[in-house]
Amino acid sequence: MPFPQTRMRRLRASAALRGLVRETELRPGQLLLPLFVSEAVASRDPIAAMPGVDRLSIAQAIDEARQAHALGIAGVLLFGVPANKDPEGTGAWDDDGVVQVALHALREAVPDLLLITDVCLCEYTEHGHCGVLDSEGQVDNDASLELLARTAVSHARAGADIVAPSDMMDGRVGAIRTELDGEGFAQTPIMAYSAKFASAFYGPFREAAGSTPSFGDRRTYQLDPANARQALRETLLDVQEGADMVMVKPALAYGDLIRATREATELPVVAYNVSGEYAMVKAAAAAGYLDERTTVLEILTSLRRAGADIIISYHAKDAAQWLAKT
C-alpha cells in the first residue's frame, strides 16, 4: 500500500529495530589480514604509503597473528619479502624461504589461525613480473606454471592451510591442483585470484612488497578493468580447474563483479580490499575529511552486501575491534 499506510521509517526508529531487520552481517570471522614478512627487517619497517602497516620480522608477524586471532579474525594472508632476488624467483619455492620459515613459526605459535599464502613470483624475481621471462623478455606463461605449482607445494609442506595463486597465468589453478594432489596435499584448498584486474589501486602494495616491474606493466596477464564478461570467464575457468574459492581484486570499484561472481558460482567469493583503497581512507581520515571507523565499516559491509563471503583487508584488525564494540 502507498503512503500514508506504508511508512518505511517505521523499521528505522531505533537501534534495536534497525538491528532486528539488518540484512547484511559483518563479523571478524569473515575477515583475513594480510601480512608482509621480510627477511631484511629486524623488527618492524613502516610502509609510508600504508599508515599502520609494516614489513615485519617473523617474531613481529607472530605478534600480529596472535592479535588477529584474539580479535576473532579468521586468518592471515602471507606475502614474503626476500633479501635476495633472481631471474626465476627461486626464493618463492625455497623450503628455507621467508614464507616457509614464517609458516613453521606461525603454525607453532598460533595453531588455530588459518594460514594462507600468496603464490606468485613477483616478490622474488629481479624483474618484478609474476612469471619467468622467455628469450625475448616476455612473460612465459607455460614455463611459469611449474614454478608456481612448486611454490604452492612448498607452502603446503611448510604448513599453509590455503594457497592463493595471484599471478594470473593461464592454467595455473589446474597445474597447482595437480601438483598438490600428486604430492599428498589433496586436502589443501586453492583460493584463486580469479578476477584480478590491472589496477591503479595496487601502488602502495608494490612499495610494501618491492614488486614493481622493472620494465613494462602487468596488462598482458591481469584483466582490463573495462571487461566484466572476460572476468567471469576467467573465474569459471578457475572453477573448472579446481579452485575452491574465487576472488575479485580490487574491491571498491568492482562491486558489480562481486555480485556477478556470486550469482555465477556456488563457491565462496573473496573480495580483496586492496592497498590503494586502504591508503585512500587513511589519507582522507588523517585530513579530517571523513570518519575512519564509520567509513571502513560501511565499505566492508558494502562488500558483504555485494556478495563477498570473505574479505581480505588491511583494516581487518581495526574493523574487528570496532565490531566488538557495536
Q: Which residues are catalytic?
A: 196, 249
| Contact (CB, 8 A) for 84 and 123 | no
Q: Please answer whether residues 227 and 201 qualify as being in contact, where contact means their C-beta atoms are separated by less than 8 angstroms.
A: no
Task: Give the chain's end-to-end CA distance (angstroms, integer).
Answer: 34
Here the cell at position 126 is 629481479
Amino acid at 224: D
SS (H, E, C) the chain: CCCCCCCHHHHHCCHHHHHHCCCCCCCHHHEEEEEEEECCCCCEEECCCCCCCEEECHHHHHHHHHHHHHCCCCEEEEEEECCCCECCCHHHCCCCCHHHHHHHHHHHHCCCCEEEEEECCCCCECCCCCCCECCCCCECHHHHHHHHHHHHHHHHHHCCCEEEECCCCCCHHHHHHHHHHHCCCCCCCEEEEEEEECCHHHHHHHHHHCCCCCCCCCCCCCECCCCHHHHHHHHHHHHHHCCCEEEEECCHHHHHHHHHHHHHCCCCEEEEECHHHHHHHHHHHHCCCCCHHHHHHHHHHHHHHHCCCEEEECCHHHHHHHHHCC
